[in-house]
A = this chain, B = another copy of it.
Amino acid sequence: MANIQEVAKKAGVSVATVSRVLNNHSSVSTRTRLRVESAIKELNYEPSMLGRNLRNSESRLLLVLIPSIANPFYTEIINGIQNTAISHQYNILLCETDSNPKRENIFFNMVKNKLADGIISMDPAVNKQKLTELADNHSIILCSEYDEEGSIPYVSIDSELAAYHAVKHLIQLGNKKIALINSDEKFLYARQRRQGYERALKEYSLPIREEWIYHTTQLDFQDGVHAMRMLLRLEEKPSAVFAVSDTLAIGALKEIKAIGLRVPHDIAVVGFDNIGFSNMTNPSLTTISQPMYKMGSTAATMLIHHIQNRKVESTILDHELIIRESTMG
């Protein structure tokens, strides 16, 4: 790869002039500009981002941290981030952390080292302390999962209210024995969704029974299958299930079928996220729809504003209950 020196030499100008042409400075004469441009073409020259970044302390690269690309929930969010970033001449790089602190650290370093200009974190298991430290001097936005007391700006939904709506829907259909398939309550969203679940039950004077609350370690289909299997082994079986993720709900659906029960006739199921697949299951899945695209584009806008030292405010977006066959057969 040719460098700026060679271009300058070939065009018979200084490197400064080449740089000016590269950056569209108005002070270059047309004649010179043309000469430089043709030299660039001839040498097939492309400026080095490395040199440029080192000089400018800017990379126009944004990092997006996700725990795992296996969860389709992130797909549409990333779409929103990507389109917004591109419209502002930024590019995004997806970083799968597997919720592994070591791996996270590498991406944090990329920002510290000016290899990227900012981070949108969607990893609920992210090391909050390290992230907060980093946020002191760098641009960080949390998306979906956030920290209530923390100082880092976020965009999310009202998980408590959404869960309340989901469970209320089940109650209004006549269900009195409603189970919860939750994930680990070390995550804020899990705690909030449980609160919403409990609020709805209390409001209708239904008992909260610990045995009807199952915690999974992950969000894979298999975790849903297993959770449902456990719930169905109880002496007093629930007549409805609210799962905090569509992937879990789909696993639950599978297991209910597997032992010969019918959805929603025997057991009604509500999920959370409205992933694409939730409409492909049989029966199709009632679920809470998060405004994923909007969440992504909002997060990206916030991050870019933050990089530009503009003020950003945390945002809570609206959710929606999507009623399908798994509750209204």
- On A, residues with C-beta under 8 Å from B are 1, 46-51, 53-54, 68-70, 72, 74-75, 78, 82, 86, 91-96, 98, 103, 106, 109-110, 112-115, 137, 220-221, 250-251, 253-254, 257, 276-277, 279-282
Closest to A48 in B: B113
CB neighbours (8 Å) of A109 from chain B are: 46, 49
Q: Are A1 and B137 interface neighbours, CB within 8 A?
A: yes
> How close is A17's CB to chain B, nearest CB, in angstroms?
21
Q: Are B276 and A70 interface neighbours, CB within 8 A?
A: yes
> How close is A40's CB to chain B, nearest CB, in angstroms?
14
Roughly how many angstroms separate A51 CA and B106 CA in the complex, as a whole number? Answer: 16
Roughly how many angstroms separate A94 CA and B61 CA in the complex, as a whole number? Answer: 13
Q: Are B50 and A54 interface neighbours, CB within 8 A?
A: yes
Q: Specify how many copies of this chain sit in the oligomer.
A: 2
* Known A54-B54, A69-B69, A78-B69: A46·B95 in contact at CB below 8 Å: no
Q: Are B95 and A50 interface neighbours, CB within 8 A?
A: no
Q: Are B113 and A46 interface neighbours, CB within 8 A?
A: yes
CB neighbours (8 Å) of A82 from chain B are: 96, 98
* Known A48-B113, A221-B277: A91·B74 in contact at CB below 8 Å: no
Contact of A250 among B78, B86, B110, B280 (CB under 8 A): B280
Roughly how many angstroms separate A95 CA and B86 CA in the complex, as a whole number? Answer: 13
Q: Are A78 and B96 interface neighbours, CB within 8 A?
A: yes
Most chain B CB within a 10 A radius of its CB, from A46, A78, A96, A280 = A280
Contact of A50 among B50, B92, B276, B279 (CB under 8 A): B50
Q: Are A93 and B91 interface neighbours, CB within 8 A?
A: no
Roughly how many angstroms separate A70 CA and B293 CA in the complex, as a whole number? Answer: 13
CB neighbours (8 Å) of A106 from chain B are: 91
* Known A54-B51, A70-B72, A75-B70: A254·B276 in contact at CB below 8 Å: no
A-B contact pairs, 20 of them (CB 8 A): A1-B113, A46-B113, A47-B113, A48-B113, A49-B109, A50-B54, A50-B115, A51-B54, A69-B69, A78-B96, A82-B96, A86-B103, A91-B103, A93-B95, A94-B94, A253-B282, A254-B280, A257-B282, A281-B281, A282-B282
